[in-house]
Amino acid sequence: MIVLSSDNMRILKELDMVVFRNRLKEFAVKIGMGLVNQTKLITAASELSRNMLRYAGGGTVLIEIVNGPQRQNGVRVTFSDNGPGIPNIEQAMKDGFSTGKSLGLGLPGAKRLVSDFDIKSTVGKGTTITIIKWKNG
């Protein structure tokens, strides 16, 4: 994967999420991503950043414009936190599962909105989620 441009930011409060979403939109527009795919990317990223804030007290987000071996022009977003971690990723990825008082659609819903979704978590150490939304996909 070739990184063409990047920005790293911290999300520690609600206002940081607004700044993050605006910056993410700038990256999507920069590669010529259509409005529907922009909306999918921003919706998924909003959910993931909200989870990071709610369950881990915040973390960092890395936004990158990438080119892959088979695809050009994508936005990759990596969410990293030092929170409690997710004990059972398989269970957390099922619709309807929630450790909070939500509908439990966050992680699986975000995965459906993006092209690539990767999650790694260690209990007591934190979680890293990486998503990619390609310009045309």
Share of the chain above pLDDT 70, in %: 93
Q: What is the mean pLDDT of residues 104-133?
A: 92
Average pLDDT over residues 7-23: 95
126: left (phi > 0), else alpha (psi -120 to 50), else beta? Answer: left
pLDDT above 60: residue 100: no
Burial 62-78 (b: 16+ CB within 10 A, else e): ebbbbeeeebebbbbbb
Mean pLDDT computed over every residue of the chain: 91
* Domain CATH code at residue 92: 3.30.565.10
The predicted-structure confidence for 25-41, as pLDDT tens digits, reads as follows 999 999 999 999 999 99
State which residues form the domain around 83. 2-134
β-sheet bridge partners, residue 9:
61
If one counts the domains in the chain, the total is 1
